[in-house]
Amino acid sequence: MRQLPPQSNPTFGFSDSPFGECCLAFSNDGICALTFPESREGAFIDLEHRFPETDFKRDDKRVTRIIRQIFEGGKIPELNPIGTEFQQSIWRALQQIPKGKTTTYAQIAEAIGRPKAVRAVGTAIGANPIAYLIPCHRVTKSDGGIGGFRWGLECKKKILDWEKK
C-alpha cells in the first residue's frame, strides 16, 4: 500500500452501478480502486487502509460520470492498481480473460508460470483493488463452484450474468 501524492489529485466518490452502489477512487494516474462495499463507511475505511495518509477529495458527480462511461459506454479508463509485483502479474492475467468467459485459479497460476502457486494466486485475486475492470469475478473453482468474491457471491453472480448478455 502506498500514499498517492497530493499533486495527483486523489479523488473518490460513490455512484450507482448495475450491481449496486460502488465506490471509485482515482488520481491523475488512473483508477486505483473500484469496490462494491456494504456501506460507505466501510468503503472509506478500505481506502484509508490501502492509501494511508492520502487526502482524498470527494466528488460524487465526477465519479458518476466515470461509472456511466464504464457501464453504459463500455469505456475502460486508465488503471493504476497498486500492489506487489506478484499481485500485478495476477491482475494482468485477469485482464486477459474474455468478457463472458471464466477461468480457474489453477489456470491463472499456470498462465503466470507458477502452477504450484494456486493458493497465492487466490490471495492476490482477493486483494484486487479494482473490481469489474480487473475481472476477478471471472475466476471460479476447478470443481465448477463459483468460488469467492470480496463483495459477496450475489454481486459476483450479477456481474457474470450481466456479462453474458
% of the chain exceeding 70 in pLDDT: 96
Tell me, what DSSP letter sits at residue 3? P
- 105 band by pLDDT with thresholds 50, 70 and 90: very high
Q: Report, in angstroms and rounded to the nearest whole number, the Rg of the chain calculated over CA atoms.
A: 15
User: For the chain, give me the number of helices (H) and strands (E)?
Assistant: 6, 6
- 33-46-20 Cα angle (round to 5): 65
The reply to whether 136 belongs to the active site is yes
Mean pLDDT to the nearest integer, 99-104:
93
Domain layout of the chain by residue ranges: 6-71, 85-164
Sheet strands (E) in 18-161: 20-27, 30-35, 57-58, 103-104, 139-140
pLDDT in tens, 56-99: 999 999 999 999 999 998 898 999 999 999 999 999 999 999 99
Cα dihedral 120, 4, 57, 15 sign: negative
Mean pLDDT to the nearest integer, 125-147:
93
Three-state DSSP class for residue 31: strand
Mean pLDDT to the nearest integer, 126-150:
92
Query: Which overall architecture, per CATH, does domain 6-71 show?
Result: 2-Layer Sandwich (3.30)
Say which of 22, 32, 136, 155 is annotated catalytic: 136
% of the chain exceeding 90 in pLDDT: 79
Per-residue DSSP letters for 48-84?
A: HHHSTT--PEE-HHHHHHHHHHHHTT-----B-----
- Name the fold adopted by 85-164: Arc Repressor Mutant, subunit A (1.10.10)
**In the prediction, which pLDDT does 5 show?**
65
